[in-house]
Amino acid sequence: MTRWGMVIDLDRCTGCQACVVACKAENNVPFSTPELEVRNRVISWMSVLTIVEGEFPEIKERFLPRPCMHCENPPCVKVCPVGATYLNPEGIVAQVYTRCIGCRYCTNNCPYTLKYFNYFKPQWPKEMKNYLNPDVSRRQVGVVEKCTFCHHRLQKAKEKARVEKRKLREEDYIPACVQTCPTNALTFGDLDNPRSNVSRLAKSSRAFRLLEELGTEPKVYYLTEGEWHG
Amino acid sequence: MSLKRRDFLKIAGGISLSLPLYNCALDKLSDSTQQNSWLSGIESWIPTVCQACPGGCGIFVRVVDDRAVKIEGNPIHPLNRGRVCPRGQAGLQVLYSPERIKSPMKKVGRRDSRKWEIINWEEAINAVSSRLLELRNSEKSHTIAFMGQNSSHTTEDLITRFLKVYGTPNYIKLDDWTTLKKAYHLTQGIHDLLALDLENSKYVLSFGADFLTNWPTSMENQRIYGEKRSKRNIKIVQAEPRFSLCASRADKWIPINPGTEGLLAIGIASVIVKEKLYNERYLDRFALQFEDWIDDRGIKQKGFKSAILGEVRLDHISDVTGVPLRTIIEVAKEFSSTQPAVAVADYNLSFQTKGLFSVLAIHSLNALIGNIDSPGGLLRQRRAPLGDMPPVKLDKRAERGMSQPRIDGVSGNELTSHTDGIEKFCENILNKDPYEINCLFLSNNSLNLSSPISKKVKEALKNIPFIVSFSSFLDDANSFADIILPDSSFFEKWQESQVSPMSKIPIVGICQPAVKPLYQSKPFDDVILTLAKKMGSPISQNFPWSSFKELLLDRLKGLFEAKRGSVFTSPPEEEQLRLLEERGWWVPQHASSEAFMKGLLEKGGWQDPSYHFNERSYIYQTPSRKFEFFSLLKTQEIHPEFSGDENEYPFILYLYDLPFNSDFNGVNMPWHQETIGFRFNLGWHTWVEINPETAKKLNIQDKELVWVESPYGKIKVIVKIFSGIIPHVVSIPLGKEEDVPGQKNARKIIDPLVLIGETHDVQTGVLSRQSTRVKIYKSGRSGNK
């Protein structure tokens, strides 16, 4: 069985924001505005957290890119009253926008705070609607959205494989953030395939997951930077 | 079989998630404005080159039904290998920006008004060409000037050709990197930048160089950084006043007082000299004036070695730079013992009062350990062999025009040299010295008016009777334009894009249109051709091409004829080619020029992975064919200067460029604008960084709104308390604008450049951004509201 997962090597990450912008471009996330920023309503499926340690001049900064953790045991799914968010058979925590009733239970129950509620109608200037990705639906006001591991790319890859009468190869499917990462800090693939890069890295002694003690079993692994142990 | 409600919903969910693939059926339910009809969904990927910055990374543009919808990297482009930076990812926001100028425009009413009327292209071209002809016929061809930033080689050659044939020496080229070029010219005699061989380097000593984010080769550097960091075989030491993104990725950050980078380099050099850690073999063979020497008049002069041993006091340097003695000695020992090591500087150092000195001192470190033209050091790229254009035929008028001195005071009237600073240009225009300027062409994004000399620039622009702008966005500079001929974006035109000389191998990327030009915009190069044709003989004779594409493809054939390199290919094949070429072999991949051109356009470009070491006359072009310490020895009085009284204005202002934003043109990319402040959790608003100690003294809280005031101006910004800045320095990012596309009223620009005074580098005349003192006081408001 396939279980999609991601490994993020914190040693390599330079906090450049390429993944953040690539995600917005791929998934039709509108740009924010100063007003949204002040009200803390900015939607960004992928975001880089900055952790500052130490005092001048012994200061250290660490960057932590955070997509949805796609937990094996997702707390958001448990509280969704309408099945708008669910764990699909390939391990992706999926979101059905038209099912969502906007109760925000899932945003509150996500320990990683990686689910975003559309408080306002997403807006684009008329001309900018041209660059919207036709593979991804736009969200309405009042629904919750989050990182889908660019699930639409998996759908396309599967279709392509079917047309070409072959099995889906692991490299056929790669999320936008992983594809663009300038330092190759992000790796994506099948965690259940023992020969895949991602499963090999996930077993490394440097690997850890965020808030592991909660038992959510995220499928996003991090590799520690230097001596840091998350 | 029973079906539970939850299972049913799951199935329904699965269906609805896969539906978007079938052309947004769901979208139509939720929002009918996205598309008026069902999409045919024909998808194509166009190989082209990103020109959001001068880097020139290879990209594919995903085009669905004539709409460009996504940018991905070209995996076989040797610079970025399939990766794209945040700025590149936001590129489509420029293409589809609502603020683009949609058609040619003519100024109506007063010159300083912002009122234009829409005209058609024919009218616009007629207006410009008749004005040009009029000037030329009255022997005033030299009184036109063209102002532009670095652009692609073929475009620059086209402009040069046009100006030459027309008869003016005034090609005003602005470039932030001139100080570095000058330093390499003074020491090695080359008019060029050198490439950092990060791949083979073990130790990088960076003096405030943002090589991971703000260089044209940043994407290459990022990739290599990732690989080397993973293997842990590189050490990066970053000396700069502020803990930049690069410093945060370095192994060690050395906080240093602004403007003293050169002094620190001299300090490190003195340790290397005193302890005899230098590379004697290199200095013997490749350096001049290291040991004492005898000048032309037969007088004995002190060499670099005795000058350092005699004059440098390390404790004094430690005091001025603020770097502990121990650190200087440690770094010097590490730098000279870890091989290969390299000391790098970048354009940031140009903006101080002793910029050229700093760069010279830093470059001398490379000579001391002998890593110029050696693996892991600084290399010089062999240029791509683009075909030549046919020679120009000048008439008498053009020759007379070309023999005039340049308006910006740059000696020699070669059109290829860069301008030192825009200031001299403006002064000369205002004083009509040596002549007046009757017509000015402004290329796209050529002029940033938000600088302290903007007053002078504005005055100068007002004094020019006819200004033609090629900008695709309205800004302060082209508000003076009489005619605007909007340029197309790089998604809409043919272009060639060579990587910067800071990459060790030459790469030529081919930029081809992904979509048809939007609105009434036209590619700049085609407009120049049209203009030349319109002006008739003898100018038009020199432009036989029907379109810029034809000219470009003509020149690209030179790559095939040169029998070097190959079209982009997979990394293993590239390595094979490198090995062969470095041993003097070359295998042709394409039988004919047509097949080559086809491959070139399909794969996205051409590259030559080989590098030949020890071509002495290419690396050292000084008369002695050696590295010369002379210019460094001449430098006197090396302490930085600051304007503003220290008692009234206690802090030194340090203005810096945000990552991937070195030329302030990220304004039309809201995604880029909203994310570059991520380290401070600020998106749109600009801020001032203050050390916690300073904030405590001033009783200022994080996120409070304060005034930052200098003798020249003041701005109100949000405070970010940041441990990554020296206590007596405050830093403000440049190029941050709260300008939301589509919301004209929301435009709010806080321009930190109003704070700086007219202080310049004493040697190059480049305006200094790091030499003004400021004070900070509360505005009585919180930044949250």
ipTM over 0.95: no
Q: Is A137 on the interface with B (CB under 8 A)?
A: yes
Residue B760's pLDDT is what? 74
Cα torsion for B273, B275, B279, B283, to the nearest 10°?
Answer: 30
Question: Between chains, do B20 and A136 touch, taking CB under 8 Å as contact?
Answer: yes
Q: Which residues of A touch B746 (CB under 8 A)?
A: 33-34
Identify which of B27, B223, B674 has the shortest CB distance to residue A138: B27
* Residue in this structure with the two tokens 């490379």, named with its chain if needed: B366
Residue B29's pLDDT is what? 41
Same-domain status, B773 and B629 = no
Task: Determine the Cα angle at B178 with ends B175 and B180, to 5°.
Answer: 135
Q: Is A18 on the interface with B (CB under 8 A)?
A: yes
What lies within 8 Å, CB to CB, of B709 at 6+ separation is B649, B755, B774, B775, B776, B777
Nearest CA in chain A to B672: A21
* Residue in this structure with the two tokens 């330092």, named with its chain if needed: A183
Identify which of A94, A126, A183 has the shortest CB distance to residue B13: A94
Identify which of A24, A84, A132 has the shortest CB distance to residue B69: A132
- What mean pLDDT comes out for the span B694-711? 91
- What mean pLDDT comes out for the span B711-731? 91
Residue B421's pLDDT is what? 67
Task: Indicate whether A229 belongs to any domain.
Answer: no
Q: How many domains are contained in chain A?
A: 1
pLDDT tens-digit readout, A199-228: 999 998 889 999 999 999 999 999 987 654
Lowest-pLDDT range of A153-157, B513-517, B670-674? B670-674
What lies within 8 Å, CB to CB, of A227 at 6+ separation is none
Other CB atoms within 10 A of residue B744 CB: 10
Band of the pLDDT at B374, cuts 50, 70, 90? very high
Residue A76 reports pLDDT greater than 90: yes
Residue B730 CA from chain centroid, whole number: 25
Same-domain status, B629 and B744 = no
Task: Indicate whether B175 belongs to any domain.
Answer: no
Question: Between chains, do B18 and A155 touch, taking CB under 8 Å as contact?
Answer: yes
| Interatomic CA distance for residues B90 and B741, integer angstroms | 13
Other CB atoms within 10 A of residue B711 CB: 17
Helices (H) and strands (E) in chain B, counts: 26, 30
Contact B604, B74 (CB under 8 A): yes
Q: Which residues of A touch B672 (CB under 8 A)?
A: 21
Contact B217, B79 (CB under 8 A): yes
Same-domain status, B745 and B630 = no
CB proximity under 8 Å: B 672-701 to A:
672, 674-676, 678-685, 691-693
CATH number at residue B700: 2.40.40.20
| Interatomic CA distance for residues B169 and B131, integer angstroms | 18
pLDDT tens-digit readout, B165-208: 998 888 888 788 888 988 999 899 998 899 999 999 999 999 99
Residue B736 reports pLDDT greater than 90: no
Task: Indicate whether B773 belongs to any domain.
Answer: yes
What b/e string do you get for B85-118 counting C-beta neighbours within 10 Å, with b at 16 or more? bbbbbbbbbbbbbebbbebbbbbeeeeeeeebee
- What mean pLDDT comes out for the span A48-56? 91
Domain that holds residue A111: 4-223
Question: Between chains, do A83 and B9 touch, taking CB under 8 Å as contact?
Answer: yes
Same-domain status, B361 and B226 = yes
Task: Indicate whether A163 belongs to any domain.
Answer: yes
Task: Indicate whether A143 belongs to any domain.
Answer: yes
Q: Which residues of A touch B69 (CB under 8 A)?
A: 130-134
CATH number at residue A166: 3.30.70.20
φ and ψ of B461, to 5 deg: -60, -40
Residue B748 reports pLDDT greater than 90: no
| Interatomic CA distance for residues B349 and B769, integer angstroms | 10
The dihedral of CA B678, B679, B680, B686: what is its sign? Answer: negative
> How far apart are the CA of A83 and the nearest CA of chain B, in angstroms?
6
Same-domain status, B720 and B629 = no
Question: Between chains, do A50 and B678 touch, taking CB under 8 Å as contact?
Answer: yes
* Residue in this structure with the two tokens 């003294």, named with its chain if needed: B697
φ and ψ of B357, to 5 deg: -60, -45
pLDDT tens-digit readout, B83-107: 999 999 999 999 999 888 999 999 8
Determine the residue among A7, A11, A13, A14 to mutate to test chain B binding: the one whose Cβ has the most chain B Cβ atoms within 10 Å: A14
* Residue in this structure with the two tokens 């160089």, named with its chain if needed: B209
Task: Indicate whether B340 belongs to any domain.
Answer: yes
Residue B745's pLDDT is what? 60
Band of the pLDDT at B362, cuts 50, 70, 90? very high
Task: Indicate whether B754 belongs to any domain.
Answer: yes
pLDDT tens-digit readout, B257-295: 998 999 999 999 999 999 999 999 999 999 888 888 888
Same-domain status, B228 and B374 = yes
Same-domain status, B628 and B671 = no
Residue B13 reports pLDDT greater than 60: no
| Interatomic CA distance for residues B5 and A87, integer angstroms | 16
| Interatomic CA distance for residues B120 and B661, integer angstroms | 35
pLDDT tens-digit readout, B445-499: 666 655 555 677 888 888 888 999 998 888 777 788 899 999 998 999 999 999 9
Residue A127 reports pLDDT greater than 80: yes
Band of the pLDDT at B413, cuts 50, 70, 90? low
* Residue in this structure with the two tokens 């020019």, named with its chain if needed: B464
Residue A83 reports pLDDT greater than 60: yes
Residue B757: HSE in the Cβ half-sphere, 13 Å Cα cutoff: 17
DSSP characters over B296-345: TTS-EE--HHHHHHHH--HHHHHHHH---HHHHHHHHHHHHHSSSEEEE-
> How far apart are the CA of B213 and the nearest CA of chain A, in angstroms?
8
φ and ψ of A65, to 5 deg: -70, 135
- What mean pLDDT comes out for the span A118-142? 91
> How far apart are the CA of A187 and the nearest CA of chain B, in angstroms?
13
What lies within 8 Å, CB to CB, of B1 at 6+ separation is none
Contact B325, B318 (CB under 8 A): yes
Q: Token pair of B490, please?
A: 């790089």
> B524-534 and B548-561 are packed helices; what angle lies between their axes, rounded to 10 degrees?
110
Residue B415 reports pLDDT greater than 70: no
Nearest CA in chain A to B670: A31
Other CB atoms within 10 A of residue B433 CB: 12
Lowest-pLDDT range of A178-182, B111-115, B408-412, B597-601? B408-412
Lowest-pLDDT range of A79-93, B142-156, B213-227, B704-718? B142-156
Q: Is A163 on the interface with B (CB under 8 A)?
A: no
Residue B449's pLDDT is what? 57
Task: Tell which wins on pLDDT, A35 or B44.
Answer: B44
Lowest-pLDDT range of A101-110, A141-150, B36-45, B624-633? B36-45
Of B157, B276, B242, B189, the closest CA to residue B555 belongs to B157
CATH number at residue B342: 3.40.228.10
Residue B241 reports pLDDT greater than 90: yes
Chain mean pLDDT for chain A? 91
Same-domain status, B689 and B629 = no
Q: Is B253 on the interface with A (CB under 8 A)?
A: yes
Residue A24's pLDDT is what? 94
Q: What Cα–Cα distance (Å) separates residue B715 from each residue in B137, B670, B709, B756, B764?
A: 49, 23, 7, 11, 29
Q: Is A16 on the interface with B (CB under 8 A)?
A: yes
Band of the pLDDT at B34, cuts 50, 70, 90? very low
Determine the residue among B217, B723, B725, B745 to mutate to test chain A binding: the one whose Cβ has the most chain A Cβ atoms within 10 Å: B723
- Which 3 state secondary structure label does DSSP give B690? strand
Chain mean pLDDT for chain B? 85
pLDDT tens-digit readout, B533-588: 998 888 888 899 999 999 999 899 989 988 889 999 999 999 999 999 989 888 88
Nearest CA in chain A to B682: A37
Task: Indicate whether A210 belongs to any domain.
Answer: yes
Task: Indicate whether B559 belongs to any domain.
Answer: no
Same-domain status, B273 and B327 = yes
The dihedral of CA B312, B379, B76, B68: what is its sign? Answer: positive
Q: What Cα–Cα distance (Å) separates residue B528 from each residue in B547, B548, B551, B784?
A: 10, 9, 12, 49
Domain that holds residue B31: 1-39
| Interatomic CA distance for residues B532 and B542, integer angstroms | 9
Q: Which residues of A touch B687 (CB under 8 A)?
A: none
Task: Indicate whether A180 belongs to any domain.
Answer: yes
Residue B445's pLDDT is what? 66
Question: Between chains, do B230 and A179 touch, taking CB under 8 Å as contact?
Answer: no
From B582, B609, B634, the end of a domain falls on B634
CB pairs under 8 A between A and B: 243
Other CB atoms within 10 A of residue B469 CB: 28
Q: How many domains are contained in chain B?
A: 3
Residue B16's pLDDT is what? 39
Q: Is A206 on the interface with B (CB under 8 A)?
A: no
Residue B784's pLDDT is what? 46
CB proximity under 8 Å: B 690-749 to A:
691-693, 723-727, 738, 740-743, 746, 748
Query: How long, in residues, is chain A?
Result: 230
Task: Indicate whether A153 belongs to any domain.
Answer: yes
Same-domain status, B361 and B250 = yes
Share of chain B above pLDDT 90, in %: 46
What lies within 8 Å, CB to CB, of A115 at 6+ separation is A68, A76, A106, A107, A144, A145, A146
Residue B713's pLDDT is what? 86
Band of the pLDDT at A82, cuts 50, 70, 90? very high
Q: Is B660 on the interface with A (CB under 8 A)?
A: yes
Residue B357 reports pLDDT greater than 60: yes
| Interatomic CA distance for residues B417 and B408, integer angstroms | 11
Q: Token pair of B738, please?
A: 């709260």
What lies within 8 Å, CB to CB, of B225 at 6+ separation is A12, A14, A183, B198, B212, B234, B249
- What mean pLDDT comes out for the span B765-774? 82
- What mean pLDDT comes out for the span A28-48? 89
Q: Residue B507 is inside which H or E element, if any?
A: strand B507-511
Question: Between chains, do B73 and A180 touch, taking CB under 8 Å as contact?
Answer: yes
SS3 annotation, chain A: CCCEEEEEECCCCCCCCHHHHHHHHHCCCCCCCHHHHHCCCCCCCCEEEEEEECCCCCCEEEEEEECCCCCCCCHHHHHCCCCCEEECCCCCEEECCCCCCCCCHHHHHCCCCCCEECCCCCCCCHHHHHHCCCCCCCCCCCCEECCCCCHHHHHHHHHHHHHCCCCCCHHHCCCHHHHHCCCCCEEEEECCCCCCHHHHHHCCCCEECCCHHHCCCCCEEEECCCCCCC
Q: Token pair of B414, please?
A: 């070669």
Q: Residue B147 is inside which H or E element, if any?
A: strand B144-149
Residue A64 reports pLDDT greater than 90: yes
Task: Indicate whether A230 belongs to any domain.
Answer: no
- What mean pLDDT comes out for the span B707-719? 90
Q: Is B16 on the interface with A (CB under 8 A)?
A: yes
